[in-house]
Structure 1
Amino acid sequence: MITIIIIMRFYGRRDELRLMEHLYAQSPSFLVVTGRRRVGKTELILEFCKEKPAIYFYVDANKSIGSLLEEFSRLMRETLNLPGYVRLETPEAFLEFLFSYREPLVVVFDEFQRFQKIDPSFISQLQRYWDTSRRNSSLFIIVSGSSVGMIREIFLSGGAPLFKRADTILTLKPFGPEECLAILGDIGVLEPDDRLDLYLLFGGAIYYYTYLEKFGCTDMESALSRLLLNDFAPLAYEMRDIVVEVFGREHATYYEILAAIASGKQSQKEIADAIHIAPTSLPTYLRDLIDLLGIIEYRTPVTERGRRSKMGRYIFSDNFFRFYARYIYRNRSLYQSGRYGKLLNLIQDEWKGFSGFAFEEMVRTLLRESLIPEYDAVGSWWNRRGDEIDLLALSGGADLVVEIKNTTLTRSEAYSLLTSLQAKLPAVQGLSEQVTLGIAAREIEDREELREEGFYCMEIEEMLGQNTMKKAKET
């Protein structure tokens, strides 16, 4: 289950809160909360800390360890009502005082992985005090970080100082489409098509939904006009700010890679050729975008899983970054000159085709949940000749192939797609003799009749649930 705070309302993620309550009751405890940016880590932690004795420390990458400890000392004095002369000027002094505190206390370090660059000794000192002094304390230490790869290095690598010190590592996933569409209904997006388009734009990075509510956005045009396409747009520099913060002076190369992937370059060679970089230099940048930002992923055909494959593709796992790289970054001259109307028209003209990828990803996610109990593997498939199947479910006995379309299909269009799908089957190695053909779309004419003929047919309302897509307007 997933949770987010939208203005003053908090959604879901009850399982995570129950786990946190359990660890708090069993203090001393150590929890790691990680996940990519904008998925609600801080909001979850702050929700948990309500009505509890807690101190929240934000690790600012632009501050020295001395400045951070000065700030942390001030927060400790204010929160714990300490005398003004208390000064904790070294990591050792700060942690010694913290672990000497005998009352129950939640201590949060947000963006904890930044200590690796600011002062690595803080991490090793924390390990020492945790090992030697935790039994005499009632601390519940929570560390969070958006850099999933760095958090893994600190807590999961064998030689790392905090290896196996955490009781639990809680990785927060982006919201699923069901939750996002329900939230959009709650904040006043009434039309099902508008809710779907906004989800395809922002995906499960729930941070952006706070802006939709705050700026009264109820459809695609208002979201684009108010949040991106004006001189005071709050998300105007979203990708730049995040990439610069994480990668510093090398940010330009990361921009170019993201723009290349957004334009359809998916193999290492295609990306390298597009940005004029040596292919041997590219893997480091790609690993950073996967592990540090978590906004792209490397995917292989479902038939290739479990073995080395040269058929892999790099794709966006974040809807909004893909959109931003394609339309804002690649059209920066148009954007900076304030020609927002022209850019809006370009986006609207291309939206149906551009959003098709996000729609396919959403449908694959929804169908995987229902199909995986019956099938051994569910995913997409492609080959070097350019043949592609949107969803292939393998069971070893009776397989399923599905074409996904972000549109409403007539009966004749459905038959045409099924015929094309049938023609691709000989190219797929290892298929079972028994294969069911299928279609998933927004709507399908004569859906029930097609099912009676033995085809697998799913409409978006069925995949999401009637209540999600047909939420009553009184919400």
Structure 2
Amino acid sequence: MKFYNRETELNHLQNWSNKAATGGALMTIVIGRRRVGKTALLNQAFPRGGEYRALYLFVSRKQERLLCEEFVEQIRALLNVPIFGNPSSLREVMEILLQYSCTEPLTLILDEFQDIQRVNPAFFSELQHLWDQYKGKSQMHLICCGSLYSLMTHLFQNSKEPLFGRADNRINLQPLRTQFIAELLHDQKRFSPETLLQWYMLSGGVPKYLEWLVNIDAHENIWQTLVSEHSLLIEEGHYRLAEEFGPEHGTYFSILSAIAAGHTSRPAIESLLEISVGPQLDRLEKEFEIIERHRPVLSKPGTRLVKYKMVDAFLAFWFRFIYRHRSAIEIGNYSFIHQVIERDYPTWSGHWLEQIHRERIAASGQYNIVGSYWERGNQNEIDIVAINELEKIALIAEVKRNRANIRLSRLQEKAEKLRQQLKGYDVRFEGFSLEDFID
């Protein structure tokens, strides 16, 4: 599949390598969820035989001595460095590379960096000492890339960890925005507003999932292909999150399943699960960045009108339709899940249609606040409220799959209290639908 977007990240990575080659070593951390395209980004920035001398080392979970043998073989092949003996520790290998970089610029990529924790956790302290020793004379751009978000953040941002304060740059790689999914669909000659919404909902902009969708024949039934005995989608949620959550993954999975099913307030989640979930919600939001806390636009900071929403559209789909119906999967009744998807898809996809329009409005640069609005008891819900506080203008909008179902008169009635808060603003009411994606 063609490489889309990432121009900003590519430029940063290459500029930092240039800077390290002339002004002292730099350390960069690249983090992002699994499948988001971190390795593809690094390969695109530093292709083999390209402008930059780059060494890519993948940290696999094996005995340290065996991992060092693998690394030494690659160093000899790529850098043509004479290495005497058989280094058996990561510290020895790292010092060889730092010594090399004192005379030759080198971009060193350590992929799945967090897995060093399983190989030799003492290496993080050893790396700190080596880095402090060589940083002033080295020409190395060290890129530490990892997919366990919580652990990578802990390693570099926890003041008690040896690598705290050592990173010079950080890239938190995000999924592709909707405009690039549209570009991909046009390139595949498969674009339609409905397909754009469907691919956004099923991929969340994650390149690996988009690649899965590209490989599905346009004439096949997408649900029967994706939700089947041999589909990778069935276990994908477990693959992505079980290790991240650790022993408590069952509790976290139950919370995410509840949110995906529409139980979006803390009292609703706790009532359903019959447990207190405050600490878990806090970690899911701040540490794992899987959910977001939403308040009505213009509400006071201490308001209790709080809803939790999934950040990742793919995970929301997986928890709503796959994890929730895992008993049907265990007995191989995939047709049951197909029927549930066909029944609930129009309503479910409508929520993500709202999200796409919110993203589109935010990207326009016309507003400094973009969100939604509701009152106590989920009354008078409004899909989109966008405000420009400088120019005193506001947009209040309703989103429907079918434009014929938009009722601006009803929207104006629901916005009565909101308009009182927007006194002095030029308020515009609009309706958005799938048809707005035609262009």
TM-score by length of 1: 0.82
Alpha-carbon distance in 2 for matches of 1:315, 1:171: 20
Query: Structure 1 residue 353 and structure 2 residue 352: aligned?
Result: no
Q: AA paired with 1:37?
A: R
Query: Could you say which residue in structure 1 is the equivalent of 2:128?
Result: 127
Alpha-carbon distance in 2 for matches of 1:168, 1:131: 16
Query: Could you say which residue in structure 2 is the equivalent of 1:439?
Result: 431
Query: Could you say which residue in structure 2 is the equivalent of 1:225?
Result: 224
Give, in angstroms, the shift of residue 34 of structure 1. 1.9
- Aligned pairs for 1:3-18 within 5 A: 6=1, 9-18=2-11
Query: Could you say which residue in structure 1 is the equivalent of 2:284?
Result: 289
Query: Could you say which residue in structure 2 is the equivalent of 1:365?
Result: 359
Q: AA paired with 1:38?
A: R
SS in 2 for 1:343: helix
Stretches of structure 1 that go unaligned for 5 or more consecutive residues are 1-5, 444-458, 467-475
Alpha-carbon distance in 1 for matches of 2:73, 2:271: 52
Question: Identity rate of aligned residues, in percent?
Answer: 32
Query: Could you say which residue in structure 2 is the equivalent of 1:94?
Result: 93
Q: Is the 8 A contact 1:107 1:140 kept in 2?
A: yes
Q: Is the 8 A contact 2:202 2:209 kept in 1?
A: no
Alpha carbons of 1:92 and 1:255: their partners in 2 closer, same or farther (altered >3 Å)? Answer: same
**Cα deviation 1:300-339 (Å, max 9, x = unaligned):** 222137x333222211111111111111111112223222
Alpha carbons of 1:75 and 1:286: their partners in 2 closer, same or farther (altered >3 Å)? Answer: farther
Q: Which moved more, 1:71-80 or 1:196-205?
A: 71-80
Q: AA paired with 1:80?
A: L
SS in 1 for 2:43: helix
Query: Could you say which residue in structure 2 is the equivalent of 1:261?
Result: 259
SS in 2 for 1:269: helix
**Cα deviation 1:19-41 (Å, max 9, x = unaligned):** 22211122232222222332211
- Aligned pairs for 1:51-450 within 5 A: 51=49, 52-60=52-60, 62-63=61-62, 65=64, 68-81=67-80, 86-101=85-100, 102-116=103-117, 119-213=120-214, 215-218=215-218, 222-226=221-225, 228-277=226-275, 279=276, 282-291=277-286, 293-304=288-299, 307-370=301-364, 372-373=365-366, 375-387=367-379, 388-396=381-389, 397-405=392-400, 407-410=401-404, 413-414=405-406, 417-428=407-418, 430-434=421-425, 435-443=427-435
Alpha carbons of 1:103 and 1:395: their partners in 2 closer, same or farther (altered >3 Å)? Answer: closer
Alpha-carbon distance in 2 for matches of 1:265, 1:248: 24
SS in 1 for 2:395: strand
SS in 1 for 2:434: strand
Query: Could you say which residue in structure 2 is the equivalent of 1:451?
Result: none
Q: Is the 8 A contact 1:91 1:121 kept in 2?
A: no
Alpha carbons of 1:376 and 1:236: their partners in 2 closer, same or farther (altered >3 Å)? Answer: closer
Alpha-carbon distance in 2 for matches of 1:294, 1:254: 13
Q: Is the 8 A contact 1:36 1:293 kept in 2?
A: no
Q: Is the 8 A contact 1:149 1:291 kept in 2?
A: no
SS in 2 for 1:304: coil
**Cα deviation 1:108-141 (Å, max 9, x = unaligned):** 1223234456544322222222222123322221
Give, in angstroms, the shift of residue 402 of structure 1. 1.0
Q: AA paired with 1:230?
A: S
Alpha carbons of 1:117 and 1:53: their partners in 2 closer, same or farther (altered >3 Å)? Answer: same
Task: Report the aligned-residue RMSD.
Answer: 2.6
Alpha carbons of 1:354 and 1:46: their partners in 2 closer, same or farther (altered >3 Å)? Answer: same
Query: Could you say which residue in structure 2 is the equivalent of 1:469?
Result: none
Q: Is the 8 A contact 1:157 1:163 kept in 2?
A: yes
Q: AA paired with 1:141?
A: L
Alpha carbons of 1:293 and 1:188: their partners in 2 closer, same or farther (altered >3 Å)? Answer: farther
The one of 31, 34, 40 equivalent to 2:31 is: 34
Alpha-carbon distance in 2 for matches of 1:326, 1:10: 30
Stretches of structure 2 that go unaligned for 5 or more consecutive residues are none
Alpha-carbon distance in 1 for matches of 2:192, 2:408: 30
Alpha-carbon distance in 2 for matches of 1:224, 1:68: 41
Give, in angstroms, the shift of residue 398 of structure 1. 3.4
The one of 460, 463, 471 equivalent to 2:437 is: 460
Q: Which moved more, 1:235-244 or 1:319-328?
A: 235-244
Alpha-carbon distance in 1 for matches of 2:285, 2:69: 34
Q: Is the 8 A contact 1:301 1:382 kept in 2?
A: yes
Q: AA paired with 1:46?
A: N
Q: Is the 8 A contact 1:146 1:292 kept in 2?
A: no
Give, in angstroms, the shift of residue 292 of structure 1. 5.0
Q: Is the 8 A contact 1:57 1:109 kept in 2?
A: yes
Alpha carbons of 1:69 and 1:272: their partners in 2 closer, same or farther (altered >3 Å)? Answer: farther
TM-score by length of 2: 0.88
Give, in angstroms, the shift of residue 74 of structure 1. 4.1
SS in 2 for 1:242: helix
Alpha carbons of 1:225 and 1:38: their partners in 2 closer, same or farther (altered >3 Å)? Answer: same
Give, in angstroms, the shift of residue 158 of structure 1. 4.6
Give, in angstroms, the shift of residue 262 of structure 1. 0.8
Query: Could you say which residue in structure 2 is the equivalent of 1:46?
Result: 43
Alpha-carbon distance in 2 for matches of 1:331, 1:185: 34
Alpha carbons of 1:154 and 1:432: their partners in 2 closer, same or farther (altered >3 Å)? Answer: farther
Give, in angstroms, the shift of residue 43 of structure 1. 0.7
Give, in angstroms, the shift of residue 160 of structure 1. 4.2
Q: Is the 8 A contact 1:185 1:195 kept in 2?
A: no
Query: Could you say which residue in structure 1 is the equivalent of 2:18?
Result: 25
Q: Which moved more, 1:318-327 or 1:110-119?
A: 110-119
Alpha-carbon distance in 2 for matches of 1:104, 1:19: 17
Q: AA paired with 2:263?
A: K
Alpha-carbon distance in 2 for matches of 1:75, 1:275: 51
Alpha-carbon distance in 1 for matches of 2:413, 2:12: 50
Give, in angstroms, the shift of residue 354 of structure 1. 0.8
